[in-house]
Structure 1
Amino acid sequence: MDFGVQDIKNIIPHRYPFLLIDRVSYIEPGKKVVAYKNVTSNEYFFQGHFPEMPVMPGVLIIEALAQAGAVAILSQEEFKGKIAFFGAINKAKFRRNVVPGDTLKLEVEIIKIKGSAGIGKGTAYIGEKKAAEGELMFMIGDKN
């Protein structure tokens, strides 16, 4: 199953300039997702991080992983129409710079859900090399 930006926007509430995933190539609702972010030189954050040597901020890589994880969770029947919030970030590691021209492959596996809270393990890759990883704790809530 391949989701484009419009499909993603039907699941999560993020919009430009903060929607950080472009495509979902695999989803197992409530369990696993594989998504992609094409990093271009036109990204708003490169204006200040860093103009002389553009590098995607690590926190935005983690946010991209969280958005991918939210697609997996909010595609699960019982959570459709809800919103996912960050609870915590644990064991975050940044292994390489992400620069214009890179395509981030974002893999998130949901490792625990209890009630409306859970934990996902996310890994971002450039090609086959890890760029970042971490445990993402989340809570599911109503949109209003």
Structure 2
Amino acid sequence: MNGTAQVDVELLAEVKSILRRDLKLGPDARIADDMPLIGGEMDLDSLDILLVISSIEKHFKIKIPNEVVGRWVFQDVSTLTRFVQENRNANSGGAKPQAADVAAKNWLDRLPHGPEFRFVSAVHAVDPGKSANGVWKVDGSEAFLKAHFPGRPIVPGVLVTEGLAQLAGIAASTESDKHGGMLAHVDIKFESPIVPPAAIELSANVARVFGALRMCEVVASVSGRSVARGTVAIKFET
């Protein structure tokens, strides 16, 4: 990479805006161009770095390889901006891997939750460590719907989020993971209420792995229409 390339001032401002938002620094927080991202005043932890990477990739439509994160790219704010500048037009396309056969394994058994607290009814496809698809079926007789809301029940968003997190745990797990992962971060936006009965299709795709953390992009849909989407980070024991 060209370490002496001129950094675009407007792009630098965009990157700083993302840092302020994701790190909750406030709109007026001063961020120097040469402020270190690792080991300095900001000293991002693993989850912070994962969130920033996810936001930068989504905003600028680029990919930041794991092997460059701990090197010059995250040296400071300007080096991160320079990487974005040099790679924002790169084509990150590629063929998707085929999902693994789920018939030979009950993937729900990999969840640390008991059957009474599972919000995934069935798993349709799994590509271990990469992706998973499943469904949560709500028939309208569930006890939690009686008070949410009487006469006009709506599936609680917090339970949809839990279902997405559980499927993300399945998607992110591999044969080497002896224990189920634990939820480390969640950011879900709801687009439409879910009225029972409903078959809520769930999908999770691993977007980033950073140490023990695995970030998944998740979507819930009903009858082909997206009702919720966002990101979930799962932490596994190392």
Q: TM-score, normalised by structure 2?
A: 0.54
Structure 1 counterpart of 2:157, which letter? G
5+ residue gaps, structure 1, are none
Q: Which has the higher contact order (CA 8 A, sep 6+)?
A: 1
Q: Is the 8 A contact 1:62 1:133 kept in 2?
A: no
Task: Report the count of equivalent residues.
Answer: 138
Percent identity, please. Answer: 24
Quick check: which one's strand share is greater?
A: 1
Q: Is the 8 A contact 2:108 2:122 kept in 1?
A: no
Distance in 2, matches of 1:31 and 1:2, equals: 14
- Determine if the alignment matches structure 1 residue 77 to structure 2 residue 175: yes
Q: Which moved more, 1:11-20 or 1:49-58?
A: 11-20
Distance in 1, matches of 2:103 and 2:142, equals: 21
Q: Detail structure 1 runs of 4+ shifted over 3 Å in the superposition.
A: none
Q: 1:3 to 1:44 in 2, by over 3 A?
A: farther
Partner of 1:40 in structure 2? 139
Partner of 2:205 in structure 1? 109
5+ residue gaps, structure 2, are 1-100
Q: For residues 25-67 of structure 1, what are the alpha-carbon distances to aligned partners after superposition, in whole Å with 9 as ceiling and x for unaligned? A: 1110000000001111122210221122111111111110111
Shift of 1:3: 5.5
- Determine if the alignment matches structure 1 residue 57 to structure 2 residue 156: yes
Structure 2 counterpart of 1:115, which letter? G
Structure showing greater Rg: 2
Distance in 2, matches of 1:65 and 1:3, equals: 21
- Determine if the alignment matches structure 1 residue 87 to structure 2 residue 198: no
Q: TM-score, normalised by structure 1?
A: 0.87
